């Protein structure tokens, strides 16, 4: 089976390989890795002290629960079930919710694909996730009324969120969680149209990715008494195995401003990754729960497990999720 994005895995497995042109060349290779890890601590051994607490943060890609996954949930079946052990073993679980969960609102006129799922989905999200990302190009598909209704339901279920809120200020607030004495902030931004989904002073919506604002939000999250570590979750890029110039430029800008990791989504496939200033950038994790794609490249996503200390990301593992015809991910147990 040809899985083009595996090229990026092999290339970045070697820690000196960061040239995206080399990635392009290796894009033709067929690889059968199941789990990949690359210790950042090897690059920066002084940053990891022996007794330092490590928090595991599992991050998955785009979650669109419409179609067959919604029908499964209607029958009480859990579309995340094959990853329940992976989630259970993590300290913090995050994913990008690429649909609105509500029974309210009106579909955006003239938008070709609009995704809304029944509120029963909240129960399945709360079973597996500590927080979900809302900064994307579908969470506003049924307007601010449905978006606000989703926020209310997430809060009631104890599921955090980032990249969205009841107003502009709230949409730019990080989700902050403390585990083992390590305070981790997560910020989310979308830069894929329509911009009309953006929150305003008196309108619920998402956080839009404007460089200056993104940098201000990082500075705020890093402020006194807030977070030790800042994770950026971006919704960006084109459907190409290699990240574009804009993604690379902004990722570096964010790391220069104090971000500890950059994790992207939206291109519906896995993109390459790199290490900049000792900080990892995963340009796109690809899909996680998403039905409707025929190409295997769209039905293979990455599940990222970051090990984080007070001093940042120490190392990480990547697992491969194979998405079946119903849009349901399974952990790839054996190399293809
Ligand atoms: Zn998207």
Dist. CA 288 → ligand 1 center (Å): 12
Dist. CA 193 → ligand 1 center (Å): 9
- For the chain, the structural domain boundaries read 38-331
Dist. CA 45 → ligand 1 center (Å): 37
Bridge-based pairing state of the strands 287-289 and 36-37: unpaired
Q: Averaged over 134-148, what is the pLDDT?
A: 98
Mean per-residue pLDDT of the chain? 88
Dist. CA 98 → ligand 1 center (Å): 6
Dist. CA 163 → ligand 1 center (Å): 13
Query: pLDDT-based confidence at 51, cuts 50/70/90?
Result: confident
Q: Are 313 and 228 within 8 A, CB to CB?
A: no
Dist. CA 138 → ligand 1 center (Å): 7
pLDDT in tens, 154-205: 999 999 999 999 999 999 999 999 999 999 999 999 999 999 999 999 999 9
The token duo for 116 is: 């809304």
**Residue found by looking up tokens 């595991």 in the block:** 56
pLDDT in tens, 192-242: 999 999 999 999 999 999 999 999 999 999 999 999 999 999 999 999 999
Dist. CA 180 → ligand 1 center (Å): 33
Query: pLDDT-based confidence at 314, cuts 50/70/90?
Result: very high
- The 10 Å Cβ neighbour count of residue 219 is 12
CA distance 82 to 231: 26
Residue 149: in which H helix or E strand, if any?
helix 143-156
Dist. CA 49 → ligand 1 center (Å): 39
The arrangement of secondary structure in 38-331, i.e. its CATH architecture, is 4-Layer Sandwich (3.60)
Dist. CA 54 → ligand 1 center (Å): 31
What does the pLDDT read at residue 33? 41
Q: Are 319 and 305 within 8 A, CB to CB?
A: yes
Dist. CA 302 → ligand 1 center (Å): 16
Dist. CA 215 → ligand 1 center (Å): 22
Residue 109 exposed, middle or buried by CB count within 10 Å (0-12, 13-18, 19+): exposed
Dist. CA 123 → ligand 1 center (Å): 23
**Residue found by looking up tokens 């609102």 in the block:** 105
Dist. CA 111 → ligand 1 center (Å): 13
Q: Averaged over 286-304, what is the pLDDT?
A: 97
Dist. CA 149 → ligand 1 center (Å): 20
Dist. CA 235 → ligand 1 center (Å): 6
Dist. CA 85 → ligand 1 center (Å): 27
Residue 30: in which H helix or E strand, if any?
none
């Amino acid at each position: 089976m040809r899985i083009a994005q595996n090229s990026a895995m092999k290339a970045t497995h070697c820690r000196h390989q960061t040239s995206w042109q080399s990635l392009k060349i290796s894009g033709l290779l067929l690889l059968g890795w199941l789990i990949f890890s690359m210790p950042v601590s090897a690059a920066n051994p002084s940053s990891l002290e022996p007794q330092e607490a490590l928090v595991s943060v599992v991050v998955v890609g785009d979650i669109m629960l419409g179609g067959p996954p919604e029908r499964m949930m209607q029958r009480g079946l859990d579309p995340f079930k094959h990853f329940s052990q992976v989630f259970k073993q993590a300290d913090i679980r995050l994913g990008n919710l690429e649909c609105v969960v509500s029974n309210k609102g009106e579909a955006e006129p003239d938008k070709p694909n609009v995704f809304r799922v029944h509120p029963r989905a909240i129960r399945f999200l709360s079973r597996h996730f500590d927080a979900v990302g809302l900064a994307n190009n579908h969470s506003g598909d049924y307007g601010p009324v449905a978006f606000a209704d989703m926020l209310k339901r997430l809060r009631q279920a104890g599921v955090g969120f980032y990249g969205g809120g009841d107003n502009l200020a709230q949409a730019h607030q990080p989700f902050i969680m403390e585990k083992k004495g390590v305070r981790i902030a997560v910020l989310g931004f979308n830069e894929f149209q329509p911009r009309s989904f953006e929150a305003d002073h008196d309108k619920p919506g998402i956080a839009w990715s404007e460089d200056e604002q993104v940098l201000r939000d990082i500075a705020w999250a890093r402020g006194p008494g807030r977070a030790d570590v800042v994770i950026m979750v971006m919704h960006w890029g084109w459907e190409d195995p290699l990240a574009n110039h804009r993604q690379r430029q902004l990722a570096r800008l964010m790391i220069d401003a104090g971000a500890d990791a950059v994790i992207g989504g939206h291109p519906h496939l896995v993109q390459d990754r790199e290490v900049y200033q000792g900080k990892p950038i995963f340009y796109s994790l690809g899909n996680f729960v998403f039905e409707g794609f025929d190409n295997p490249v769209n039905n293979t996503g990455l599940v990222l497990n970051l090990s984080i200390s007070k001093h940042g990301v120490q190392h990480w593992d990547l697992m491969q999720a194979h998405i079946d015809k119903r849009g349901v991910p399974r952990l790839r147990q054996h190399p293809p």
